[in-house]
Amino acid sequence: MHAMPESPFKTAALIGRYQTAGVVTNLLAIAEYLIQRGLNVILEAETAEAIGRTDLSTADIDEIGRSADLAISLGGDGTMLGTARQLAPYDVPVLGINHGRMGFITDIPLDRCVEALGAVLSGAYTVERRTLLTSRVVRDDEVIWEELALNDVVVSRSSRAGMIELQVEVDGRYMYNQRADGLIVATPTGSTAYALSANGPILHPAVGGIVLVPVAPQALSNRPIVLPDDVSISIRVVEGREPRVASDMQGFSELQTGDDIIIQRSPFASHFLHPAGYSYYQTLRSKLNWHELPILRTPGT
Protein backbone atom coordinates (compact mmCIF):
# COMPACT_ATOMS: atom_id res chain seq x y z
CA MET A 1 0.00 0.00 0.00
CA HIS A 2 1.36 3.41 -0.98
CA ALA A 3 1.63 6.03 1.75
CA MET A 4 -0.29 9.24 1.28
CA PRO A 5 1.95 12.17 0.26
CA GLU A 6 2.66 14.58 3.07
CA SER A 7 0.23 17.48 3.03
CA PRO A 8 1.51 21.06 2.69
CA PHE A 9 -1.11 21.94 5.34
CA LYS A 10 -0.84 21.10 9.01
CA THR A 11 -3.94 22.61 10.63
CA ALA A 12 -7.34 22.93 8.95
CA ALA A 13 -10.30 24.85 10.30
CA LEU A 14 -13.88 23.85 9.46
CA ILE A 15 -16.60 26.49 9.24
CA GLY A 16 -20.12 25.37 8.34
CA ARG A 17 -23.57 26.76 7.75
CA TYR A 18 -24.85 24.56 10.53
CA GLN A 19 -28.50 25.68 10.19
CA THR A 20 -28.79 23.79 6.89
CA ALA A 21 -30.05 20.22 6.91
CA GLY A 22 -27.33 17.66 6.30
CA VAL A 23 -24.42 19.98 7.05
CA VAL A 24 -23.62 18.39 10.42
CA THR A 25 -23.16 14.90 8.97
CA ASN A 26 -20.99 16.21 6.15
CA LEU A 27 -18.93 18.43 8.45
CA LEU A 28 -18.10 15.51 10.69
CA ALA A 29 -17.28 13.27 7.73
CA ILE A 30 -14.87 15.91 6.39
CA ALA A 31 -13.33 16.32 9.84
CA GLU A 32 -12.75 12.56 10.07
CA TYR A 33 -11.16 12.52 6.60
CA LEU A 34 -8.80 15.36 7.51
CA ILE A 35 -7.80 13.60 10.73
CA GLN A 36 -7.09 10.42 8.76
CA ARG A 37 -4.83 12.47 6.49
CA GLY A 38 -2.84 13.57 9.54
CA LEU A 39 -4.07 17.14 9.91
CA ASN A 40 -4.95 18.94 13.09
CA VAL A 41 -8.62 19.85 12.82
CA ILE A 42 -10.31 22.85 14.42
CA LEU A 43 -14.04 23.48 14.39
CA GLU A 44 -15.13 27.10 14.43
CA ALA A 45 -16.55 27.66 17.93
CA GLU A 46 -20.13 28.61 17.00
CA THR A 47 -20.28 25.73 14.52
CA ALA A 48 -19.02 23.25 17.12
CA GLU A 49 -21.51 24.45 19.75
CA ALA A 50 -24.42 24.34 17.32
CA ILE A 51 -23.73 20.78 16.25
CA GLY A 52 -22.96 19.59 19.77
CA ARG A 53 -19.38 18.46 19.15
CA THR A 54 -17.39 20.41 21.68
CA ASP A 55 -15.21 17.32 22.15
CA LEU A 56 -13.32 18.36 19.02
CA SER A 57 -10.80 21.21 19.12
CA THR A 58 -12.62 24.55 18.74
CA ALA A 59 -11.56 28.14 18.18
CA ASP A 60 -13.06 31.49 17.32
CA ILE A 61 -12.19 33.26 14.07
CA ASP A 62 -9.28 35.19 15.59
CA GLU A 63 -7.73 31.98 16.93
CA ILE A 64 -8.32 30.25 13.60
CA GLY A 65 -6.59 33.13 11.83
CA ARG A 66 -3.54 32.76 14.07
CA SER A 67 -3.26 28.97 14.10
CA ALA A 68 -4.76 27.48 10.90
CA ASP A 69 -3.04 27.34 7.54
CA LEU A 70 -6.21 26.23 5.71
CA ALA A 71 -9.88 27.05 6.20
CA ILE A 72 -12.68 24.96 4.70
CA SER A 73 -16.08 26.59 4.30
CA LEU A 74 -19.05 24.24 3.98
CA GLY A 75 -22.23 25.98 2.94
CA GLY A 76 -23.36 28.44 0.29
CA ASP A 77 -21.74 31.53 -1.14
CA GLY A 78 -22.87 33.56 1.88
CA THR A 79 -20.93 31.30 4.24
CA MET A 80 -17.89 31.52 1.99
CA LEU A 81 -18.15 35.32 1.84
CA GLY A 82 -18.21 35.62 5.61
CA THR A 83 -15.35 33.16 6.10
CA ALA A 84 -13.12 34.74 3.46
CA ARG A 85 -13.80 38.26 4.68
CA GLN A 86 -13.04 37.44 8.32
CA LEU A 87 -9.85 35.51 7.56
CA ALA A 88 -8.41 37.89 4.94
CA PRO A 89 -6.43 39.92 7.53
CA TYR A 90 -4.70 36.69 8.60
CA ASP A 91 -3.85 35.56 5.06
CA VAL A 92 -5.41 32.12 5.62
CA PRO A 93 -6.43 30.49 2.31
CA VAL A 94 -10.04 29.34 2.02
CA LEU A 95 -11.49 26.31 0.24
CA GLY A 96 -15.21 26.40 -0.52
CA ILE A 97 -17.42 23.29 -0.60
CA ASN A 98 -20.90 24.01 -1.91
CA HIS A 99 -23.78 23.01 0.35
CA GLY A 100 -26.07 25.76 -0.91
CA ARG A 101 -27.82 26.69 -4.13
CA MET A 102 -25.80 28.79 -6.59
CA GLY A 103 -22.28 27.94 -5.48
CA PHE A 104 -20.50 30.54 -7.57
CA ILE A 105 -17.51 30.98 -5.26
CA THR A 106 -17.96 27.70 -3.39
CA ASP A 107 -16.91 25.84 -6.50
CA ILE A 108 -16.41 22.29 -5.13
CA PRO A 109 -19.60 20.18 -5.35
CA LEU A 110 -20.43 18.26 -2.19
CA ASP A 111 -20.42 14.92 -4.01
CA ARG A 112 -16.81 15.54 -5.14
CA CYS A 113 -15.45 17.04 -1.94
CA VAL A 114 -13.36 14.05 -0.84
CA GLU A 115 -11.73 13.80 -4.25
CA ALA A 116 -11.08 17.56 -4.31
CA LEU A 117 -9.79 17.62 -0.73
CA GLY A 118 -7.47 14.72 -1.50
CA ALA A 119 -5.97 16.62 -4.43
CA VAL A 120 -5.52 19.81 -2.40
CA LEU A 121 -3.98 17.98 0.55
CA SER A 122 -1.55 16.31 -1.86
CA GLY A 123 -0.44 19.72 -3.15
CA ALA A 124 -2.44 19.70 -6.40
CA TYR A 125 -4.11 23.08 -6.16
CA THR A 126 -4.01 26.65 -7.41
CA VAL A 127 -4.32 29.84 -5.38
CA GLU A 128 -6.44 32.73 -6.58
CA ARG A 129 -6.15 36.21 -5.06
CA ARG A 130 -9.46 38.03 -4.58
CA THR A 131 -9.66 41.78 -3.95
CA LEU A 132 -11.67 43.14 -1.03
CA LEU A 133 -13.11 46.61 -0.49
CA THR A 134 -13.14 48.64 2.68
CA SER A 135 -16.05 51.00 3.20
CA ARG A 136 -16.65 53.54 5.92
CA VAL A 137 -19.42 56.00 6.65
CA VAL A 138 -18.31 59.49 7.64
CA ARG A 139 -20.78 61.74 9.44
CA ASP A 140 -19.72 65.17 10.70
CA ASP A 141 -16.04 64.22 10.22
CA GLU A 142 -16.46 61.09 12.34
CA VAL A 143 -16.28 57.49 11.09
CA ILE A 144 -19.44 55.80 12.40
CA TRP A 145 -19.31 52.49 10.48
CA GLU A 146 -16.62 50.45 8.73
CA GLU A 147 -16.73 47.07 7.01
CA LEU A 148 -14.85 44.82 4.59
CA ALA A 149 -16.58 43.52 1.48
CA LEU A 150 -15.57 40.68 -0.83
CA ASN A 151 -18.51 41.10 -3.22
CA ASP A 152 -19.85 44.62 -3.06
CA VAL A 153 -20.87 47.74 -1.20
CA VAL A 154 -24.42 48.86 -1.97
CA VAL A 155 -25.90 52.27 -1.17
CA SER A 156 -29.66 52.21 -1.59
CA ARG A 157 -33.05 53.31 -0.35
CA SER A 158 -34.76 50.99 2.09
CA SER A 159 -38.18 52.56 1.59
CA ARG A 160 -40.44 51.50 -1.25
CA ALA A 161 -41.30 55.10 -2.11
CA GLY A 162 -39.08 57.39 -4.15
CA MET A 163 -35.50 57.22 -5.36
CA ILE A 164 -32.23 58.09 -3.68
CA GLU A 165 -30.00 60.88 -4.99
CA LEU A 166 -26.27 60.32 -4.72
CA GLN A 167 -23.25 62.45 -5.55
CA VAL A 168 -20.18 60.48 -6.59
CA GLU A 169 -16.55 61.62 -6.61
CA VAL A 170 -13.50 59.58 -7.64
CA ASP A 171 -10.13 60.63 -6.20
CA GLY A 172 -11.69 63.96 -5.29
CA ARG A 173 -12.97 64.60 -8.82
CA TYR A 174 -16.69 65.00 -9.38
CA MET A 175 -18.22 62.18 -11.45
CA TYR A 176 -22.00 62.73 -11.30
CA ASN A 177 -25.17 63.15 -9.34
CA GLN A 178 -27.69 60.46 -10.02
CA ARG A 179 -31.17 59.48 -8.95
CA ALA A 180 -31.73 55.74 -8.78
CA ASP A 181 -32.84 52.92 -6.51
CA GLY A 182 -29.22 52.55 -5.50
CA LEU A 183 -25.59 52.21 -6.53
CA ILE A 184 -23.50 49.02 -6.42
CA VAL A 185 -19.72 49.22 -6.02
CA ALA A 186 -18.39 45.75 -6.78
CA THR A 187 -15.13 43.84 -6.89
CA PRO A 188 -14.41 41.39 -9.73
CA THR A 189 -15.74 38.66 -7.40
CA GLY A 190 -18.94 40.66 -6.87
CA SER A 191 -19.35 41.40 -10.58
CA THR A 192 -21.18 38.08 -10.94
CA ALA A 193 -23.50 38.78 -7.99
CA TYR A 194 -25.97 41.67 -7.50
CA ALA A 195 -24.04 43.82 -10.01
CA LEU A 196 -24.65 41.27 -12.76
CA SER A 197 -28.40 41.25 -12.10
CA ALA A 198 -28.34 45.05 -12.54
CA ASN A 199 -26.72 44.61 -15.99
CA GLY A 200 -23.15 45.22 -14.90
CA PRO A 201 -20.18 43.65 -16.71
CA ILE A 202 -18.37 40.50 -15.62
CA LEU A 203 -14.81 41.20 -14.44
CA HIS A 204 -12.32 38.35 -14.37
CA PRO A 205 -10.95 37.90 -10.81
CA ALA A 206 -7.45 38.82 -12.02
CA VAL A 207 -8.62 42.21 -13.33
CA GLY A 208 -7.59 45.15 -11.15
CA GLY A 209 -10.89 46.96 -11.36
CA ILE A 210 -13.91 48.18 -9.41
CA VAL A 211 -17.27 48.39 -11.15
CA LEU A 212 -19.95 50.98 -10.37
CA VAL A 213 -23.42 49.82 -11.36
CA PRO A 214 -26.53 52.02 -10.88
CA VAL A 215 -29.72 50.21 -9.87
CA ALA A 216 -32.71 51.34 -11.96
CA PRO A 217 -31.33 54.84 -12.66
CA GLN A 218 -33.70 57.65 -13.62
CA ALA A 219 -31.41 58.65 -16.51
CA LEU A 220 -31.32 55.69 -18.88
CA SER A 221 -27.97 56.91 -20.22
CA ASN A 222 -26.35 56.27 -16.83
CA ARG A 223 -24.41 53.09 -17.50
CA PRO A 224 -22.00 50.92 -15.45
CA ILE A 225 -18.35 51.98 -15.43
CA VAL A 226 -15.18 50.10 -14.51
CA LEU A 227 -12.58 52.07 -12.54
CA PRO A 228 -8.99 51.23 -11.57
CA ASP A 229 -8.91 49.50 -8.21
CA ASP A 230 -6.49 51.99 -6.65
CA VAL A 231 -8.99 54.87 -6.60
CA SER A 232 -10.93 56.31 -3.68
CA ILE A 233 -14.68 56.53 -4.29
CA SER A 234 -16.79 58.93 -2.27
CA ILE A 235 -20.59 58.65 -2.34
CA ARG A 236 -22.62 61.37 -0.63
CA VAL A 237 -26.28 60.94 0.23
CA VAL A 238 -27.99 64.04 -1.18
CA GLU A 239 -31.60 62.99 -0.75
CA GLY A 240 -33.65 59.87 -0.14
CA ARG A 241 -35.98 58.09 2.24
CA GLU A 242 -34.38 55.75 4.74
CA PRO A 243 -31.06 55.36 2.91
CA ARG A 244 -28.67 52.63 3.98
CA VAL A 245 -25.38 50.99 3.04
CA ALA A 246 -24.72 47.25 2.93
CA SER A 247 -21.47 45.29 2.82
CA ASP A 248 -21.86 41.93 1.05
CA MET A 249 -25.54 42.16 2.09
CA GLN A 250 -24.37 40.91 5.50
CA GLY A 251 -23.46 44.13 7.31
CA PHE A 252 -25.80 47.13 7.23
CA SER A 253 -25.85 50.71 8.43
CA GLU A 254 -28.62 53.27 8.30
CA LEU A 255 -27.62 56.54 6.62
CA GLN A 256 -28.58 60.20 6.85
CA THR A 257 -28.59 62.98 4.31
CA GLY A 258 -25.07 64.39 4.07
CA ASP A 259 -23.32 61.14 5.01
CA ASP A 260 -20.26 60.21 2.96
CA ILE A 261 -19.49 56.60 2.12
CA ILE A 262 -15.78 56.20 1.32
CA ILE A 263 -14.85 53.04 -0.58
CA GLN A 264 -11.33 51.85 -1.38
CA ARG A 265 -9.47 48.67 -2.14
CA SER A 266 -8.63 46.93 1.11
CA PRO A 267 -4.99 46.33 2.05
CA PHE A 268 -6.10 42.73 2.68
CA ALA A 269 -6.95 40.16 0.04
CA SER A 270 -8.62 36.78 0.25
CA HIS A 271 -6.96 33.70 -1.19
CA PHE A 272 -9.18 31.01 -2.66
CA LEU A 273 -7.83 27.49 -3.08
CA HIS A 274 -9.01 25.45 -6.05
CA PRO A 275 -8.17 21.86 -6.98
CA ALA A 276 -5.80 21.59 -9.93
CA GLY A 277 -7.70 21.95 -13.19
CA TYR A 278 -10.09 24.61 -11.91
CA SER A 279 -11.39 26.92 -14.65
CA TYR A 280 -13.19 30.21 -14.04
CA TYR A 281 -14.70 29.92 -17.50
CA GLN A 282 -16.15 26.51 -16.67
CA THR A 283 -17.77 28.11 -13.62
CA LEU A 284 -19.32 30.78 -15.83
CA ARG A 285 -20.58 28.13 -18.24
CA SER A 286 -22.14 25.97 -15.55
CA LYS A 287 -23.60 28.71 -13.35
CA LEU A 288 -24.78 31.06 -16.11
CA ASN A 289 -25.74 28.31 -18.56
CA TRP A 290 -23.42 29.61 -21.26
CA HIS A 291 -23.22 26.08 -22.62
CA GLU A 292 -26.90 26.05 -23.58
CA LEU A 293 -27.59 26.94 -27.17
CA PRO A 294 -30.72 28.91 -28.11
CA ILE A 295 -33.73 26.72 -28.77
CA LEU A 296 -34.88 26.96 -32.37
CA ARG A 297 -38.64 26.84 -32.74
CA THR A 298 -40.64 26.37 -35.89
CA PRO A 299 -43.43 28.85 -36.63
CA GLY A 300 -46.62 28.07 -34.74
CA THR A 301 -44.97 26.10 -31.93
**What's the CA gap between 28 and 120, in Å, rounded?**
19
pLDDT in tens, 154-175: 999 987 778 999 999 999 999 9
- Confidence grade of residue 20 (pLDDT, cut at 50, 70, 90): low
Closest C-alpha to 222, from 188, 256, 258, 176: 176
Is the pLDDT at 109 greater than 80, yes or no? yes
More confident residue, 55 or 174: 174
Per-residue pLDDT tens for 253-284? 999 999 999 999 999 999 999 999 899 999 89
| pLDDT the model gives residue 117 | 94
Residue 1: its pLDDT value, please? 42
Give the residue range(s) of CATH 3.40.50.10330 domains in the chain: 11-123
Domain 11-123's class?
A: alpha beta
For residues 246, 251, 254, 259, the Cα torsion angle rounded to the nearest 10 degrees is -60
Q: What is the mean pLDDT of residues 287-291?
A: 80
| pLDDT on residue 69 | 95
User: What type of residue is 60?
Assistant: D
Instruction: Tell me the pLDDT tens digit for each residue of 205-250.
Output: 999 999 999 999 998 888 999 999 999 999 999 999 899 999 999 9
pLDDT, residue 299, reads 64
Share of residues in the chain with pLDDT > 90 (%)? 71
Positions of CATH 2.60.200.30 in the chain: 132-267
* Alpha carbons 76 and 138: distance in angstroms, whole number: 32
The torsion angle over the Cα atoms of residues 175, 178, 183 and 185, rounded to 10 degrees, is 0
Q: Please give the residue that has the higher pLDDT: either 301 or 110.
A: 110
Q: What are the pLDDT digits (tens) for 123-141?
A: 999 999 999 999 999 999 9
If DSSP codes are grouped into helix, strand and coil, which group holds residue 291? coil
The answer to whether residues 57 and 40 touch, using CB atoms and an 8 Å cutoff, is yes
User: Which range (64-73, 171-180, 276-285) has the least confidence?
Assistant: 276-285
Residue 171: what are its φ and ψ, rounded to 5°?
50, 40
* Whether the predicted pLDDT of 19 surpasses 90: no
What is the fold of 132-267? Tumour Suppressor Smad4 (2.60.200)
> Catalytic positions, please?
77
Query: Residues near 98 by Cβ (< 8 Å), separated by ≥ 6?
Result: 76, 106, 107, 108, 109, 110
pTM of the predicted protein model: 0.91
